[in-house]
Structures are given as structure tokens and as C-alpha cells.
Amino acid sequence: MRARIFGLLDPASHAHAARRVRVLEILLILIGISSVSAGTVGGVSPAARAVAAAVTGIVAVLFFVEYLVRLWVAPENPRLQSATEARSRLRWVVSAEGVIDLLAVIPALAVASGGARLGAESASVFALLWVLKLATHAPGVELIARVFHNERSALAASLALFVIVLFSAATIAHWLEGERQPEHFGSIPASLWWAVVTLTTTGYGDVVPQSAPGRVLGGVVMLCGISVLALLAGILASGFAKEVRRREFVRIWQLVARVPFFSGVGAIAIADIVGRLRSRSYPAGAVVIRKGAAGDSMFFIVAGEVEVRIGARTRALRDGDFFGEMALLDRKPRSADVITVTPCTVLVLDVADFYQLAGGQPALIAAIEEEAKRRRADDRRADSS
């Protein structure tokens, strides 16, 4: 029971139910932040304010319950495993997630201990805590942190460039504009404000160079700003794409390991195959393949069961089996309907990748062809009987 609940709350889980729990949690956080924000708007009727306070209270209480549940299931977390359950729980309590989750439940404790007034007064502070909670639970936040970590040396180099341009701009602006506008450019630290606002291309316009050389400097700093920001954006975008690809590769690799069909394939060939596969999940009763449709991909079952319907006959295919290969091999429309019997996770190989793989991995395609031959014979036998 505890392991199952941990499975639902595990941020790394890709299971349907866990995803739903995550969406629900994010919705709850957004509702909480909205109700806290609504409570700070002036001129709202007392009734509306009371509704906002009630919603805030309910969300806070739910977070309190969630905190207790997370504390209870902490020993199931493999990253927190310790000698005793109490130690695992303690490790969770002092982790970043545990601390933020604890801070997020303070509204409930404030309302319970200090009454509604204290709760309402402190509520706006908790909007900030709930935003932090959103940061720990929203998908992708951890991914962004990892990208910053991976790209730290490139980011540090572009940041150093930013600082060099910033100080050069502030110093030159001080020389050029210091006498005309001593209040804004009288010292290098004073000029830094203009340099930051110009270099980041924000341009509030509160401080403007007045001499012609000062304006030329302004133009140059703006261009430098665009270049440095473009460099930063490029580093982050490529780092993000690299990390997403790496994670997807590892995830598909783990799924491929569960398909016995690939067990005899060597590591280099597997790497080639993994790069071409995508995972897809279906609920029970979903039509994966419709008879007569054009064949654009084939499927490997990682988990679950499907039913192949060839006229009145059916064939069951389970974990480790594949289907949808005949249309690709014969270049004909689909020969049967394929419908999921249980929720299924499958790996999809697109037709273009199938043919490329046929060139690079002939043994693999030969094994698929062998099975297709057996199935065609089976279908013919059944047709004739």
C-alpha cells in the first residue's frame, strides 16, 4: 500500500496515474496561488474575500495532508534509503523538497494556531511559498537545473563577457557623461545602472547619455547586449535539447531492455535502434491499428496485451511481442485490427527508420520477416479452414 502510494507521488514515474496525481497537485497549487492573489486585491466584496480565504484554507489543509503522506512514504524512496525508516523520513524532511513542502503547510498551522486573522495576514507570504512548491513539483524544473549544471562552464564564460562589457561601458560612460550628468554618471558605480539597463536592452529611459560620443557608446552597448543575450539563449537552448535527448535515450533504452526480442542484439546495434524508437501509451480498448489503413509504423509491446482481429479470429500478443510489421514488409495496407486489451506501453518504429534499420541491421529485420512469414501462413491456414 505504501509502495503504491509512493509510486503515485514519485516525480520520476511515467505511469498514467502518477501523471494524473502530478497534474492534480499542480492544479491545486495554481488554485491556491490564485486564491491568495485574489485575497490581496483591494475593493473586492467581503463575500468574495471570504470565499478566497476559504479556498486558501482548504488548499493549505490539503497540503498539510499531502505533507504527512509524503513523510509516511519517504522510506519507499530509493534515493532516501537509510538504515531505519525514521532516518529515511528525516532525510526527506531536511531535503529541499521536504523543507519547501513544510513551509507550504505553515498557512494551515497559522490558521489553526492564530485564528483566521493571522492566517489572512500571512496568506500573501504563502503565495511565494506555494510558487516554490510549484517549482519543486512542476515537470521540467529539475531538468532546467540540470541544464544549468551541465552548461556551467559555457554560461560562466558568457557571464564573464557580460561583466567585462558592463564595466567597460560604465567606465567609458563615466568619462563621457560624468561632467554633464554627475548625478547619474558621476562615478563608475553610479554609471553601472545605465550600463545594466542598456546592456540588457531593457532601456527604462530614466538615464540617457546626452553627448554625441555618449550616444554612440549607448548604441554599441545595446548591440553588445543583444549579442551576449543571444549567446546565453543559444547555450541554454542547445543544452536543453541535448539533455532532453539524453534522457529520452536512457528512458527508451530501459524500455528496450524489457523487450526480449532485442535481448540478442549487440550494444552498438541497440544504440542505433534506441535512437529511432519512441514510446507511446494506450488505455485499454484503444484501436492501435485499423485494418485497411496505410502502414506507417510498427510496434513493440513493452507492457500490456493487445488483440489482433483478423476477421472473426483473434490472436493475443503480449509484453515482448511486436505487430504492425506486415504492412511495412509487404508495402500493403494493414491486414488486421489491433486493439489493446489492457493499458499498454509500446515502442514505435516509424516506416522510414524501419527501412534504414533494414540496411544497417539486416539480422534484426530478418528475425521480424521470419515471424511475419509464420503469421501469414497462420492467416492463410485460418482463411482456408
Judged by the rule CB under 6 A, the positions of this chain that interact with ligand CMP are 289, 295, 308, 310, 315, 323-327, 334-336, 338, 375, 378-379
The residue (of 304 and 324) whose beta carbon lies closer to ligand CMP is 324
The residue (of 85 and 305) whose beta carbon lies closer to ligand CMP is 305
Of 251, 184, 169, the closest CA to residue 217 belongs to 169
The residue (of 179 and 383) whose beta carbon lies closer to ligand CMP is 383
In order, the DSSP letters of 315-336 are: EEEETT-EESHHHHHHTS---S
Calculate the CA dihedral of residues 86, 89, 95, 98 and round it to 10 degrees. Answer: -140
Query: Residues near 45 by Cβ (< 8 Å), separated by ≥ 6?
Result: none
Minimal distance, residue 311 CB to ligand CMP, in Å? 10
| DSSP type of residue 311 | T
Minimal distance, residue 298 CB to ligand CMP, in Å? 7
Phi-psi region of 44 (alpha: psi -120 to 50; beta: other; left: phi over 0): beta
The residue (of 101 and 325) whose beta carbon lies closer to ligand CMP is 325
In order, the DSSP letters of 15-46 are: -HHHHHHHHHHHHHHHHHHHHHHHHT-TT--H
Minimal distance, residue 308 CB to ligand CMP, in Å? 4
Quick one: how far is CA 189 from the chain centroid? 41
Quick one: how far is CA 6 from the chain centroid? 19
The residue (of 76 and 379) whose beta carbon lies closer to ligand CMP is 379
Residue 44 φ/ψ, nearest 5 degrees = -85, 145
Minimal distance, residue 362 CB to ligand CMP, in Å? 20
The residue (of 240 and 262) whose beta carbon lies closer to ligand CMP is 262
Minimal distance, residue 7 CB to ligand CMP, in Å? 32
Minimal distance, residue 341 CB to ligand CMP, in Å? 14
By beta carbon distance, the residue nearest ligand CMP is 327
The whole-angstrom separation of Cα 190 and Cα 94 is 42
